Homo-oligomer: A and B are copies of this chain.
Amino acid sequence: MKIKPLIMIANDDGYRAQGFYKLIKLMRNFGEVIAVSTEKPMSGQSHSITNHEPLRVYLADEAEDYKLYVCTGRPVDCVKIAYRFTDGRVPDLMVSGINHGSNASVNVIYSGTMGAAIEACMDGIPAIGFSLLDYSSKADFSHVDKYINVLTKKVLEKGLPEGVCLNVNIPKISEEPIKGIRLCRQAKGRWDQYFERRVDPFGRDYYWLTGEFIEEETAEDTDIYALKNNYVSVVPIMYDMSSYETIDTLKKWEF
């Protein structure tokens, strides 16, 4: 009997998120599933880990081919702790999401969904982070199956190059059909952010993060361009952040 692939799932929107359940449902068609969710929504957790306090983990749901654990830590903690529950098997694939909201452009840096995928990638597991361009907790995921299935199938078949995982963003549902899948690079962009000052009932200042995303380019080979034109964007992401070009430039400096 052929052993079914083992698929690890993590997310950053909490165990009640629709996108997470959608991903579990789709992955159960491909193999056995170990899913570990954050306890609550945790956007913007990036690659952070919990080391100054302990975590709690509990089994929240199970079937013959599937287990769901909930963990009080961050998305990356969910990946690290998931290995406890694989009976020593190395997952054949790790998927993260489906995030409610875009992780295109520099959002990949802040994203807990992508933090989790990058963590699995650092452990040598082919990993994909999926996001939908709809922040609503009631987002419509009815159009995503086809794209998630085709990408999952390909990565299970072919793997991914060492040190690389995929950042997949899917346009929000609309009347216009999705045109296909596009390989892209991460668009330049930045958050024009600031902290809004407010005053609490005791007269003391407090600050809330706010701001807007600034697109700094719209070149055709970027994820932002693909998404605007109703394509699913796929950006291969690597965790070697070295700028090889700059190493050569700075070697000319005299220290």
Residues of A within 8 A of B (CB): 41-52, 54-57, 74, 76-77, 80-81, 83-84, 106, 108-110, 112, 115, 118, 122-123, 150-151, 154, 158, 160-161, 163-164, 180-181, 183-186, 188, 190-191, 193-195, 197-198, 204-209, 234-247, 249-251, 253, 255
Please indicate the chain B residues that have their CB under 8 angstroms from the CB of A190 in the complex.
122-123
Please indicate the chain B residues that have their CB under 8 angstroms from the CB of A183 in the complex.
247, 250-251
* 19 CB < 8 A contacts A-B: A43-B52, A44-B48, A44-B49, A48-B48, A48-B112, A49-B110, A54-B198, A54-B208, A57-B205, A81-B207, A108-B241, A122-B191, A161-B245, A163-B188, A181-B255, A183-B247, A185-B242, A185-B247, A234-B250
Shortest Cβ distance from A222 into B: residue: B242
Please indicate the chain B residues that have their CB under 8 angstroms from the CB of A57 in the complex.
195, 205, 207
Please indicate the chain B residues that have their CB under 8 angstroms from the CB of A206 in the complex.
54-56
> Are A238 and B247 neighbours in the complex by a CB distance under 8 Å?
no
Task: Report which residue of A48, A84, A123, A235 has the largest number of chain B beta carbons within 10 angstroms of its beta carbon.
Answer: A48
- In Å, the complex CA distance between A160 and B255 comes to 15
> Are A236 and B250 neighbours in the complex by a CB distance under 8 Å?
yes
Shortest Cβ distance from A189 into B: residue: B122
- In Å, the complex CA distance between A8 and B210 comes to 21
Please indicate the chain B residues that have their CB under 8 angstroms from the CB of A122 in the complex.
106, 109, 190-191
> Are B54 and A207 neighbours in the complex by a CB distance under 8 Å?
yes
- In Å, the complex CA distance between A250 and B154 comes to 10
Our pick among B80, B180, B207, B241 for the contact of A209 (Cβ within 8 Å) is B80
A-B pairs, top 4 by smallest CB distance, nearest first, are A236-B246, A46-B47, A185-B242, A48-B48
Shortest Cβ distance from A240 into B: residue: B186
- In Å, the complex CA distance between A245 and B190 comes to 24
Please indicate the chain B residues that have their CB under 8 angstroms from the CB of A48 in the complex.
44-48, 74, 110, 112
- In Å, the complex CA distance between A191 and B76 comes to 12
> Are B209 and A46 neighbours in the complex by a CB distance under 8 Å?
no
Please indicate the chain B residues that have their CB under 8 angstroms from the CB of A55 in the complex.
195, 206-209
